[in-house]
Amino acid sequence: MTKRVYNFNPGPATLPLSVLQRVQQELLDYRGTGMSVLEISHRSPEYEDINTSAMALTREILGLRDNFKVLFLGGGASTQFAMIPMNFLPTGKTAVYVDTGSWSSKAIKEAQKIGKVQVAFSSKAENYKRVPKPSEVKCPSEAAYLHVTSNNTIFGTQYDDFPNPGNVPMIADMSSDIASRRRDFTKFSLIYAGAQKNLGPAGVTIVIIRDDLLARCPENLSTMFTYTTHAKENSLYNTPPVFAVYIVKMVLEWMKEQGGLNAVEKSNFAKKERIYQMMDLSSEYYRGTVDPDSRSWMNITMRLPSEELEKKFLAEAKAAGFIGLKGHRSVGGIRVSLYNAMPLEGAEKLAEFMEKFRKSN
């Protein structure tokens, strides 16, 4: 058995071991084709099956109705920052954004290159330590759309309750918390997420788009940048990231085996509770950096009493088999990423390690 660490990386992130084992098993001969899945045509019946199954499973796990299309695109979530305004921010309209961290501000910057943007709320002056309450986000009824970032990977905040923009389409970057807990997905007109945290490897971005928004895509936009191109062709307009989609399909199957979104949510709740409870018992030592009611289930951020102790913590954690705990280079500190595939045991063992470390340091 290969030695596996507890991988708390923020993304690309840990994947279910059973999925990796299946990849290994199937790698040289995918289901009797005599070829690896890396070598098969994206027009083959084998890939057709992977593609449609992955789409159907996304729909099933998230409980989406038929009025949503699921797309598998390249270019990462960062390409969506541009594609969204390209498709849905026409001249004369204003797009409304909520700025809750580095990824939101990148999305804003891209939209500003395309058209008019209004930032309805920003927690920048508060070091992004919170997300807004729904009442703090006022979205004019004539806005093109409202854009939110459901989980702020770097700053460790997450919405419990989303704003309510009325009839204005709401668009969410769910890159770091998609399929991690139940949500009322009917509130959103478009959801996008890079797969590399909760759903698979890097290389594919999941876009979930409601038919009424899809109908607004302009016809004169470059083909690859128009959502309708990909929707009409079932994400097979050009060569898709076959291997990444294949793994996404297996991660979704793994989620289903776990008991679907309910069970995954339960496990994620227990994981984050274990870490936050431990932090709350020693809040002078493990200092949370965000407001308690904005705490993320996925990325838990904290500072230790000194940078020296943080360095020591990271080194000792690594030696004990816990890796990927360094905070983002722009904020420092410690960040514990607890995506779907991190087992509860990983969070428990890390909490024990943290307690021991505090007592001896």
Residues that bind ligand PMP (CB under 6 A): 11, 76-78, 103, 149, 153, 173, 175-176, 194
Catalytic residue among 103, 177, 249, 254: 103
Angle between helices 344-360 and 260-281 (to 10 degrees): 10
What stretch of H or E contains 323?
A: strand 322-323
Q: What is the spatial order of strands in the sheet that 116-122 belongs to?
A: 68-73, 205-210, 190-194, 170-173, 145-149, 94-99, 116-122
Q: How far is the CB of 219 from ligand PMP (least distance, A)?
A: 27
326 catalytic, yes or no?
no
Q: Give the residue from 100, 167, 159, 154 showing the smallest Cα distance to 133.
A: 159
Q: Residue ranges of the alpha helices (H) in 150-296?
A: 211-214, 227-232, 242-258, 260-281
Q: How far is the CB of 85 from ligand PMP (least distance, A)?
A: 15
Cβ nearer to ligand PMP, comparing 205 with 357: 205
Please give the residue whose beta carbon sits closest to ligand PMP in the complex. 76
Q: How far is the CB of 148 from ligand PMP (least distance, A)?
A: 11
Catalytic residue among 69, 99, 197, 254: 197
173 catalytic, yes or no?
yes
Cβ nearer to ligand PMP, comparing 84 with 354: 84
Cβ nearer to ligand PMP, comparing 19 with 191: 191
Cβ nearer to ligand PMP, comparing 201 with 346: 201
Cβ nearer to ligand PMP, comparing 309 with 323: 323
* CA 95-160-99 angle, 5° bins: 30
Catalytic residue among 69, 99, 173, 297: 173
Residue type, 13: A
Q: How far is the CB of 202 from ligand PMP (least distance, A)?
A: 7
* 278, 285 Cβ separation under 8 angstroms: no
* 116, 95 Cβ separation under 8 angstroms: yes
* 302, 288 Cβ separation under 8 angstroms: yes
Q: How far is the CB of 175 from ligand PMP (least distance, A)?
A: 4
d(CA 8, CA 326): 9
- Residues with a known catalytic role: 103, 173, 197
